[in-house]
Structure 1
Amino acid sequence: MTRRTVAGLLLLAAPLALAAAGPALSPWAWDDIDFAAFGAGPSRRHWLGTTQNGRDVFAVTVHALRRSLLIGAAVAALATFLAALVGTAAGFAGGRADRALMWGVDLLVVLPPFLVVAVLAPRTGGALALVAVLAALLWTTTARMVRALTRTLREREYVRAARLGGVSAPRTIVRHVLPQLASLLVVDASLNVGAAIIAESGLAHLGFGVRPPGVSLGTLIADGGTAVLAHPWRFGFPAGLLVVLVVAVHLLADGLRDALDPAAR
């Protein structure tokens, strides 16, 4: 493993460990309310203070971290799957199927992302709808790259031999094309995790993030940002976790690219 991969894994281990063990470390559940401490500062009772609603900041942030990790992983998996599916199908089939699929990709590329979110978000609710919207906006660029590589791989001797031997197109893609694209797809999935978390955090500031009573790092940062000078503990911990998480994911993606792509080395 490269140094970047090791650094990314070590840095990513901290938020992952916190997400796994955090609820057991705090005596407070994320939705518990301390009616004697609304907007209180850090203390023995509440290590990182409380929110304006009396919830423990540490417990709420750990719960939000878990939600953000799930959203990021789900968006990355769905976006990479769509890119691989459409890109390989278009590149391998060619002809009218290729043109039709790429027309759909080009249509999604030119649509303003904020307009899409603004139109769909008020009509959909919940984390699943947010995952679907974010994934729909993140897969198009990778699909074009996958298509270009698939068109090149389609002309390789072993792929031609499989086609002449009567092997079906889906089986040929799975056995001979996708393994050659594995490094690209792994790096793309890693980058999409960070991109999805950042996108969700940005949408939270605009009111299009996770809906109450659910919380994510983005919603906590948006709420804490309104009182960052008066109550910095509400903003600092979730913002710090977001920075660590995104930096770790990008370091890991860069390390994986260097390790899996000989051209990058």
Structure 2
Amino acid sequence: MEGADVVIGKSTIIFRRFMRNKTAVAGLAIFLALTLFSFVGGYFTPWDKETIDPFNIGMPPSAEHYLGTSQAGIDLYAMTVEGTRISILIGLVVGLVSVLIAAVYGCTMAYFGGKVDKLMLFVLEALIMMPALLVVAVATSGGGAGLKQDLPSWLLLIIVLLVFSWMGTARLIRSLSMSLMQRDFVKAAQYMGVPPRRIIWRHLVPNIGSLLVLDITRGVTAAILAEVAFSFIGIGIKLPDVSLGVLIGGATSQVQTFPWMFWVPLTVMFLLTGSLAMMNDGLRDAFDPSSSSSGKARKKRARNNGTDQSLVQKKAS
């Protein structure tokens, strides 16, 4: 129908803004490529992370071993595939679940207020005061011997990281939700007798959606870096489980002798965290067009439009 208005949803607008950001799209492509590599890369080699090749010990990259072998004769390509998958899995689970916990906890504090808010805030402050590094060290070493027998080290690390990764976001969500509680649509829902659970999920959480999405990407990055850091110093993932942190930490003392053992997983880690940072910047600009990078892009387009208009005026004169 001619002259009819076309209504475009907010999510469509955000998606289009994101896709116009070439840097963000490149970051998304890199992250998806690494994720695909971590799940299907093992089908392109006959070796796995446990098979030893006694005839190729400490060998550089070759046609048989694409990324070389370790000093124990294990294929580095197979270990990199496994390590990338474990690191991405840790990042995604911790990033998604921690934000979900923070959203529910923070919105619940803001909705009920009063004594409930004070009690939940006390628990939150107590958890923040706990020494995360010490808890990780105890849980993944002798202090967590019972758990270690039942759970793989990477799953145990996920549980420990989840305990400490949501508190800061929960406090921020509480502050934002308390301001939302004063809005008319929330008060109207309360007046109509809408259950608290539905108000939280239908009115509070959707209105902080942009914050949640950005915190997910930041949380995934932080979880991957935490895994690498903890495994690097020996209190994270333990052999026979493999991760990027395990590979980097195990090859640090052999950079001169077996440089490929160190630089390959380090490069993958940089690509992984760098792609997530690029995606986070693109998402921020998509949700907030007034952010710095979006503002620069608009100013550049404005200058180009002004130059084009001046050229047209000169030609017309």
Query: Residue 48 of structure 1 aligns with which residue?
Result: 67
AA aligned to 1:111 is: M
- Tell me which residue corresponds to 1:226: 253
8 A contact 2:136–2:236 mirrored in 1: no
Larger Rg over CA atoms: 2
Map of 1:58 onto structure 2: 77
**Does 2:42 align with 1:23?**
yes
Percent identical residues: 37
SS at match of 1:226: helix
Q: 1 CA distance for matches of 2:290 and 2:119?
A: 32
* Cα deviations by residue, 1:145-199 (Å, 9 ceiling, x for unpaired): 1000110111110100000111111111111111101111111111111111110
Deviation at 1:75, TM superposition (A): 0.8
In the alignment, the residues of structure 1 paired with residue 65 and residue 138 of structure 2 have an alpha-carbon distance, to the nearest angstrom, of 40
The answer to whether residue 67 in structure 2 is matched with residue 9 in structure 1 is no
User: Greater RCO between the two (CA within 8 Å, min separation 6)?
Assistant: 1
Write the mapping of 1:1-265 to structure 2, written as runs, cut at 5 A.
1=18, 2-122=21-141, 123=144, 124-125=147-148, 126=152, 127-262=154-289, 264=291
- Aligned with 2:251: secondary structure? helix
- Measure the CA separation in 1 of the matches of 2:26 and 2:255: 30
TM-score, normalised with respect to structure 1? 0.95
Amino acid at match of 1:42: P
Post-superposition Cα deviations, 1:202-227, rounded to whole Å, max 9, x if no partner, equal 10122122222110010001111120
CA deviation after TM superposition for structure 1 residue 26, in Å: 1.7
C-alpha separation in 2, matches of 1:170 and 1:4? 39
Structure 1 counterpart SS, 2:257: coil
Match of 2:310 in 1: none
Letter in 2 for 1:105: L
1:52-84 alpha-carbon deviations (Å, 9 max, x no partner): 221110111111111111111111122111111
**SS of equivalent to 2:125:** helix
Match of 1:103, as an amino acid? Answer: F
- The structural deviation recorded for 1:137 is 1.5
Q: Within 1, Cα distance between the matches of 2:260 and 2:101? A: 39
The list of structure 1 runs, each at least 4 consecutive aligned residues, that deviate by more than 4 angstroms after superposition, is none
Can you list the C-alpha shifts for 1:4-61, whole angstroms capped at 9, x where unaligned?
Answer: 4213212223312321331122222232211112222222221211112211101111
Comparing 43-52 and 54-63, the one that deviates more = 43-52
Q: Aligned letter for 2:118?
A: R
Runs of 5+ consecutive residues of structure 2 not aligned to the other structure? 1-17, 295-317
Amino acid at match of 1:151: M
Amino acid at match of 1:64: G
Letter in 2 for 1:180: N
Secondary structure class of the residue paired with 2:49 = coil
What 5-or-longer segments of structure 1 have no aligned partner?
none
AA in 1 matched with 2:228: S
> Residue 254 of structure 2: SS of its match in structure 1?
coil
Q: 1:262, CA displacement in angstroms?
A: 5.0
Inter-partner Cα distance in structure 2 for 1:109 and 1:208: 20
Amino acid corresponding to residue 162 of structure 1 in structure 2: A
